[in-house]
Amino acid sequence: MADNLTIRQMPYSLEAEQALLGAVISDAEKLNEVPFLKTSDFYLSQHQTIYSILVDMYRQSKRIDMVTLLDELGKAEALKGTDLVKYIKLLVESAAFSSNIEEHAKIIRDKAVLRTLIDVSQGITEDAYSAVEDVDTIVGNAEQRIYDISNSKYTEGFSHISEAIKEDLDILDRRANDPESLMGVSSHYKELDNILRLGKGDLIIVGGRPGMGKTTFAMNIGTNVAKAPLKDGTMPEVVVFSLEMTKQQLAERILSAEALVDSNSLMKGSITTDMWKKLADAAGRLSKTQLLLDESSNITVTEMKAKLRRLKNLGLVIIDYLQLMHSERHTDNRVLEIGNITRDLKLMAKDLGVPVILCSQLRRESSATSKPGERMPQISDLRDSGAIEQDADAVVLLHRDDYYNTGDGESDGGIPVAKVIVAKNRHGAPGTINLSWYGSYFKFVSVETRYEDK
């Protein structure tokens, strides 16, 4: 089979390459219509040389005609032995039958992508045969190389303001007719949704000092999203990368929150008949979702992307937590490494078109002897902060006075109140909301909601 592949003609369009070159020779201004086209997109080496020289002449504001072009082409070693006069005339004649240079350029580019795909596929085949690296690495590299091809986009040049306005007016019209459709993913906390929606492509940092409940808060949102069907009736895939807890530990927390069963009872095995019924009902509800858990402790951003790209209905990604991650680019500077990670995660969110919630620790600067008002977290408290704030579209900080056992924290009818501080909101104003904290259930709820905490 490999022999058959090697003798097959690589995909290219002679007609499109000749017509485009002829069009540029006749009118160099047409280069402005195809800013995305690269010299390497041409298949024939002589066409690459001619196009490169045409682009150089145009950039240097040199007049392009038969005389000046032939003079420049005559200096090119790659064209030695070619009847240049005859071939240039042929190119100009090829352009006479079509004026659609942009379509020709797209054909040339598409053929170039196909050739790249063939080259990459052959490289993947060689990697599989040689098996120098472990299977997971080979598969991950293969997926990354294929993805890089599918995701490679040439810069299309400028867009006139009228085009951008038209696109925005279309979005505004859709938003007016269906406000929910373009507002991002709902956290299903009404108070929070009024300030912040989880936008597609957004990186949302959830920060808190140890014990504040950042993992619980992120998982509550993840469960809420996973239980809500999309408009087409399908269930969104919500992926949780847990670098700290095992999937069993995480599942027990999720089950406790969904069933409203005391987590201490689960840990001790003191489970009543009523609790078993609640757990069974909750397990049934959760089994209908697409809540996916990954407990890989040393996973990289590239490996995350490889796994996520296999999913067809991805709605939300949760990562717990930032300080346990390591960059693939080695550096002894931890702040720089964290910056590399957050930048890669932002690009991942943008490439996949889904919100990514990233849990992050805060520094322990504030001591338990401080007054509650002095312990309110700020963005500057993010550990190894560096570029975290810069890359994040939103930063949400959690604070609970009850954690410090001072007796002077806020409560709502005896239920501890957590402050959810939207300290940064790229798409709107910052703000603060209150949520009730049911620690025994690992659950944050709207203050209007009441549970009997047993």
In percent, how much of the chain has pLDDT > 90? 32
Is residue 133 part of the annotated active site? The answer reads no
Closest C-alpha to 398, from 188, 224, 221: 221
120 shares its domain with 195: no
Output the pLDDT for position 204: 95
In a domain, 177, yes or no: no
Reported confidence tier of residue 235, pLDDT bands at 50, 70, 90: very high
Asked if 50 and 75 count as a contact pair (C-beta separation under 8 A), the reply is no
- 8: pLDDT strictly greater than 90: no
304 shares its domain with 227: yes
User: pLDDT tens across 124-142, in order?
Assistant: 998 899 888 778 778 877 8
Question: What's the CA gap between 375 and 395, in Å, rounded?
Answer: 17
In percent, how much of the chain has pLDDT > 70? 86
43 shares its domain with 119: yes
Output the pLDDT for position 267: 86
Reported confidence tier of residue 271, pLDDT bands at 50, 70, 90: confident
In a domain, 29, yes or no: yes
- Which is it for strands 431-438 and 443-446: parallel, antiparallel or unpaired? antiparallel
Is omega for the bond preceding 321 within 30 degrees of 0, making it cis? yes
The model scores a pTM over 0.85 = no
Output the pLDDT for position 157: 53
- 6: pLDDT strictly greater than 60: no
Q: For 293-325, b where at least 16 C-beta lie within 10 A, e where not — what string? A: bbbeeebbbebbbbbbbebeebbbbbbbbbebb
139 shares its domain with 199: no
Burial class (CB in 10 A: 0-12, 13-18, 19+), 261: buried
133 shares its domain with 214: no
Name the residue range of residue 48's domain. 2-151
In a domain, 175, yes or no: no
In a domain, 166, yes or no: no
409 shares its domain with 305: yes
Query: Which one of 33, 72, 102, 244 is the catalytic residue?
Result: 244
Q: How many domains does the chain contain in total? A: 2
324 shares its domain with 441: yes
Q: Do you know the residue count of the chain?
A: 454
56 shares its domain with 98: yes
Reported confidence tier of residue 152, pLDDT bands at 50, 70, 90: low
In a domain, 322, yes or no: yes
428 shares its domain with 303: yes
Output the pLDDT for position 345: 92
191 shares its domain with 146: no
If one compares 82 and 16, the residue with the highest pLDDT of the two is 16
- 221: pLDDT strictly greater than 90: yes
Closest C-alpha to 152, from 110, 107, 108: 110
Mean pLDDT on 293-317: 87
Mean pLDDT on 222-242: 92
In a domain, 223, yes or no: yes
If one compares 22 and 413, the residue with the highest pLDDT of the two is 22
134 shares its domain with 231: no
Mean pLDDT on 305-318: 90
332 shares its domain with 265: yes
Question: What's the CA gap between 106 and 164, in Å, rounded?
Answer: 22
Question: What's the CA gap between 99 and 110, in Å, rounded?
Answer: 19
In a domain, 343, yes or no: yes
CATH number at residue 264: 3.40.50.300
- 374: pLDDT strictly greater than 70: no
CATH number at residue 56: 1.10.860.10
User: pLDDT tens across 186-214, in order?
Assistant: 989 989 999 999 998 999 999 988 888 99
In a domain, 31, yes or no: yes
